[in-house]
Amino acid sequence: MEPDIYNKLHADGLLSDASFEKIKQKRSNPLFSVHWELKTLLYLGVMLLSGGLGVLVYKNIDTIGHQAILAFIALITIGCFWYCGKHKLPFSWGKVKSPNTGFDYILLLGSISLVTFVGYLQYQYNVFGLNYGLATFIPMLALFFIAYYFDHLGILSMAIAALALWMGISITPKALLAYGNFNNKHIILTYVLFGVMLLMAAYLTKRFDIKRHFKFSYHHYGVHVMCIALLAGYFEYYNTIYSAVFMIAFFAVAIYVYQDAYKEKSFYFILLAVLYSYFALASLVTRMMFATMREDSIYLLLMFFIGSAIGLIFLLININKNLKQDDHL
């Protein structure tokens, strides 16, 4: 359509030959965006720099000296935060854009260096004594402050991980399933509390419009941790009345996540709510099947999984279609 307009304007004499040639040259050599390539390279640069410094320190610890290493890390930290403080845009409870492309990565490097400095200080000089909670609590507060003050989602994720570390748990859902920690009732309840805190933070972030774009990070980790912890509680208390309590709580959370996701038109969180709910329902059906002790239970169970899997696929397709239809509302 656009080339036809330019040709028509040129034919009508409204566009000069020189201008028409410039437009043709520009359209024949369109600009190529390297935004994400540049951001990836910068991120890898920060990671490689941090890892390289760690290897350098490890191999030369006897010749460099602990004080020199701490001073070097402190200089990197101070330099990064000095640059970010000088170039940052005015603070706002809304979303604040980065002043330039490198700003976020310099801030990330400074935050990693800060955590490294505190950890090194505790490891080498034991400045917090046996109070390891304080050694994780202080970096956690610092990371939350940095995330909000400079408006950085990556550092917010670091702060959430630090909160998990302070509470004595691991943040990644993969670690939740891989290391078999769910046989400890105290750990399960700690996960539930952590999940409640994250979901509440996501709700309050949106409710009071405080860095509203931070909601996704809180909600993402909260949904995973809460659902896995409640399901783990159900299996841990399998033969007690508490298993029903955990399952009821799970479906209450799943319904909340689904309703909130539908309002936000977020297929990702709808997918999480549906998949976790499917796993919970499959667990209940399996339990009921084996409780009857029928000979054909295994065949009925197999048919259930095949039929329900097909139904699940059609359900997700239909939900996604409805979300797209409601986009104009």
Which is nearest to 93 in space by CA: 212, 218, 253? 212
Could you tell me if 51 and 151 lie in one domain?
yes
Which of the four pLDDT bands, split at 50, 70 and 90, describes residue 231?
A: very high
In a domain, 13, yes or no: no
Q: Which long-range contacts (CB under 8 A, 24 or more apart) does 63-70 make?
A: 66/120, 66/124, 66/125, 69/120, 70/117, 70/120, 70/121, 70/124
What the block records as the tokens of 211 is 């860095």
- Cα–Cα separations (whole angstroms), residue 314 to 98, 204, 319: 42, 34, 9
The C-alpha angle with vertex 167 and arms to 165 and 173, in degrees rounded to 5, equals 60
DSSP class of residue 241 equals: T
Q: Cβ neighbours of residue 173 under 8 Å, at least 6 residues apart?
A: 224, 225, 228
Q: Which residue has the higher pLDDT, 303 or 63?
A: 303
Separation between Cα atoms, residue 3 and residue 32, nearest integer Å? 20
In a domain, 315, yes or no: yes
151: phi > 0 → left, psi -120 to 50 → alpha, else beta; which? left
Could you tell me if 292 and 263 lie in one domain?
yes
Instruction: State how many domains the chain has.
Output: 2
Which of the four pLDDT bands, split at 50, 70 and 90, describes residue 27?
A: low
Could you tell me if 161 and 184 lie in one domain?
no
Range of the domain at 122: 35-166
Could you tell me if 97 and 188 lie in one domain?
no
Residues present in the chain in total: 329
Task: Write the pLDDT tens digit of every residue in 119-162.
Answer: 888 877 888 877 777 888 999 999 999 999 999 998 999 999 99
- pLDDT at residue number 78: 94
- Comparing 114-123, 237-246, 268-277, 289-298, the range with the smallest average pLDDT is 289-298
In a domain, 16, yes or no: no
Q: Cβ neighbours of residue 249 under 8 Å, at least 6 residues apart?
A: 230
DSSP class of residue 90 equals: P
Q: Which residue has the higher pLDDT, 302 or 75?
A: 75
Task: Write the pLDDT tens digit of every residue in 55-77.
Answer: 766 666 666 677 888 888 899 89
Could you tell me if 183 and 314 lie in one domain?
yes
Whether the pLDDT of residue 175 is over 60: the answer is no
Q: Which residue has the higher pLDDT, 324 or 59?
A: 324
Domain closes at, from 166, 195, 219: 166
Q: Which long-range contacts (CB under 8 A, 24 or more apart) does 129-135 make?
A: 133/166
Residue type, 140: M
Which is nearest to 72 in space by CA: 60, 87, 84? 60
Domain closes at, from 125, 149, 166: 166
Domain closes at, from 118, 133, 166: 166
Residue type, 321: K
- pLDDT at residue number 325: 74
